[in-house]
Structure 1
Amino acid sequence: MRIVFSRKGFDSSAGGCPSPIINGQPLSLPIPARKSPSPVRYIDLMGNYGSLVEDLTKGRVSQYSRCHLDPDLVSSVLPRRSGWRGALGQVGAAQAHLSNSGVGVGDLFLFWGLFRNAERRDAWTFHGPPEHRLFGWLQVGEILQLGEDGSFVAQKWPWLRDHPHVRNGWGRRNVLYIASARLHLGRSIPKLPGWGIFRRGLKLTVEGDNPSTWSVPDWLNAARGGVGMTYHKAHRWTSNGTMACARRGQEFVAEIGKREDAFSWLGRLFADTR
């Protein structure tokens, strides 16, 4: 089995600021759809997305801007058709990396991004330092090869109509990962859907350090007998349990096989959904 640590949401280059942590829960802001086709605007999303992006970017991103809602993990943000499930699209070099790494049905995406605490005063305002944090998951149930024009998929599966990758205008390497109906990770994992968001997520950043210095479990830490992950060569891992996260790349793949310590770690992580 593979775990994909998948970088998503706002950051200094996509959106220009972190996503907010509100009352302890990370809320990943979908990036602006400046080049990718998308039918959805921030103001169309149920919740505070419109005011959050305008306030936190200081007006650089408008609530009327179109957004790239991907991964699409929360049913309540838009009206949904029957059969809706979580989905993730990927294209180009990032998709080639997933394919070359053998990512397929049954593998698990863990989504992470750059976050910072925020509260609303006269407007939404950040406070405290930024950090990397896990915010959601998707276990792969199906993989759809969409190509340059994925609109045919919405005809067969109408519940996918709002997903940005189910449009015309992509490159030939355009793929959609559909979540499994249920999470299948062994007895130690709660019975959950194959996609969702964590209540608080897991803070990856070492306390008091820069966001890209992560605290990592031994099963992952290549300097302590762990499996390591793509984009991270030996010099990035330390024997004291930290890792320097690569600044390039979206999808970091770790092959865990049947390691019991990795599945125990997943059990503790998914306990955060209760």
Structure 2
Amino acid sequence: MRISFSRKGFDSAAGGAPSPIIDGKPISLPIPTRHRSDTTYGDVGLGKIVERVTHGRISGSDLCHRDPMFQDNCCAFGQVAAAQSHLDNHGFGVGDVFLFYGLFADERGRDRHHRIFGYLRVSEKLTLGSSSLVPPHCLEGFQYRHPHTIGQWNDNNTLYFGRGNVARSASQVLRLSKPGVVSCWQIPEWLGGIGLSYHSKPARWAVEGELKIVSRGQEFVTEDVIDNSAARQWVDDIIREIDEG
């Protein structure tokens, strides 16, 4: 079992602001797009929120790239290009786990930090290629069309399916960043012992229990942790916190 810390949603580059925590609930705002989508922020009930967070730069009628897509304890997530090649190079697939995280802040934009907001346990991996054709059964039950099934994509355009969910509360258990330092994570002991892709420089791990996160990248992948009981327990605890929190 491999774990990918998968960066998603609004940040200073995509969207121009953190996703908000409203009434104690983290709301991951999907990034804006101008193509390969037929879903607006208003369609998914985020129109007023995105307008407020961006001070009107993005409206409820603007298209969004709604990915990962969650519904009824299921998740569909698409990846492509260099990020998908990175996952492939690490053998990522069925049996592995995406932990989706993003940049969040309170309703006034304060206390910016990274936090995990959702997960996907992969039970099916489907390479769509440039045609974006997907068997109908794969997205059965999802209310909206997945963006990776719309238009032309790279040849390694891929969809992952499986059990997944989003957090309903801004639990401290799901917070990654140290207070006041967005790019410095508080990490479990097991992660410091095995490392993470894109984070090979020893200086990033210089302080025990902390990791200085790189500024670019979408998928940060561990080695196989199937024989690491501490890692598997940690993932189970994170998923339980999301499902039950």
Regarding TM over 0.5, the answer is: yes
Instruction: For 2:129, give the aligned amino acid.
Output: G
Match of 1:99 among 88, 104, 120: 88
Residue number among 169, 175, 187 corresponding to 1:216 in the alignment: 187
Aligned position for 1:132: 114
The answer for the alignment partner of 2:47 in structure 1 is: 50
Indicate the RMSD between aligned Cα atoms, in angstroms: 1.8
Give the match for residue 153 of structure 2.
170
Per the TM alignment, residue 265 of structure 1 is displaced from its structure 2 partner at its CA by: 1.6
Alpha-carbon distance in 2 for matches of 1:207, 1:44: 34
**1:139 aligned counterpart, secondary structure:** strand
Q: Distance in 2 between matches of 1:72 and 1:135?
A: 12
Cα displacement (A) at 1:94: 0.3
Give the Å deviation of 1:153. 3.3
The Cα shift of 1:152 comes to: 4.5
CA offsets 1:159-185 (integer angstroms, 9 cap, x no match): 466000011221112000011xxxxxx
Are the structure 2 counterparts of residues 156 and 113 from structure 1 closer, same or farther at C-alpha, using a change threshold of 3 Å?
closer
Distance 1:206 1:144, change over 3 A: same
Check whether the contact 2:18–2:109 (CA below 8 A) recurs between aligned residues. no
1:154: how far off? 4.3
Task: Quote how far apart the aligned CAs of 1:257 are.
Answer: 2.8
Structure-2 change in CA distance of 1:155 and 1:196 (3 Å): closer
- Unaligned stretches of 5+ residues in structure 1: 76-83, 119-125, 180-193
Q: 1:66 to 1:237 in 2, by over 3 A?
A: same
Q: Superposed, which structure 2 residues align to 1:39-78 within 5 Å?
A: 39-46=38-45, 49-75=46-72
* Residues 69 and 157 (structure 1), Cα distance of their counterparts in 2 relative to 1, 3 Å cut: closer
CA distance in 1, matches of 2:227, 2:64: 38
- Which structure has the greater CA radius of gyration? 1
**Hey, what's the Cα distance between the residues in 2 that align with 1:2 and 1:259?**
11
Structure 1 partner of 2:129 = 147
CA positional deviation for 1:156:
7.3
Match of 1:258 in 2: 227
Alpha-carbon distance in structure 1 between the residues aligned to 2:227 and 2:100: 21
- How many residues in Structure 1 have an aligned counterpart in Structure 2? 237
Residue 267 of structure 1: CA displacement?
3.2
Q: 1:156 and 1:267 mapped to 2: Cα distance?
A: 25
- Which residue in 2 is equivalent to 1:88? 77
AA in 2 matched with 1:269: I
From 236, 241, 249, the counterpart of 2:209: 241
In structure 2, what is the equivalent of residue 78 of structure 1? none
SS for the counterpart of 2:68 is coil
Within 2, Cα distance between the matches of 1:251 and 1:37?
21
For residues 197 and 141 of structure 2, what CA distance do their matches in structure 1 show? 33
Q: Which string of whole-angstrom CA distances, capped at 9 and with x for unpartnered residues, describes residues 43-97 of structure 1?
A: 1113xx101111110111111001101000245xxxxxxxx93100001000000
Amino acid at match of 1:12: S
Aligned to 1:15: 15
AA matched with 2:230:
D
Amino acid at match of 1:69: R
What is the distance in 1 between the residues matched to 2:138 and 2:215? 38
In 2: Cα distance, 1:3 partner to 1:15 partner: 26
- The residue identity in structure 1 corresponding to 2:96 is D
Deviation beyond 4 Å, 4+ runs, structure 1: 154-161
Cα separation, 1, equivalents of 2:65 and 2:88:
22
Q: Structure 1 residues 70, 157: closer, same or farther in 2, change over 3 A?
A: closer
Name the CA distance, whole Å, in 1 between partners of 2:86 and 2:79. 10
Structure-1 separation of matches of 2:33 and 2:52: 18
Alignment partner, residue 229 of structure 1: 196
Kept in 2: contact 1:140–1:178 (CA 8 A):
yes
Q: After TM superposition, give the deviation of residue 246 of structure 1 in Å.
A: 0.8
Change (3 A) 1:145 1:267: closer
Question: What is the CA deviation profile of residues 131-157 of structure 1, one whole-angstrom value per residue up to 9, with x for unaligned ones?
Answer: 000000001111111111213534875
Between the aligned residues of both structures, percent identity stands at 44
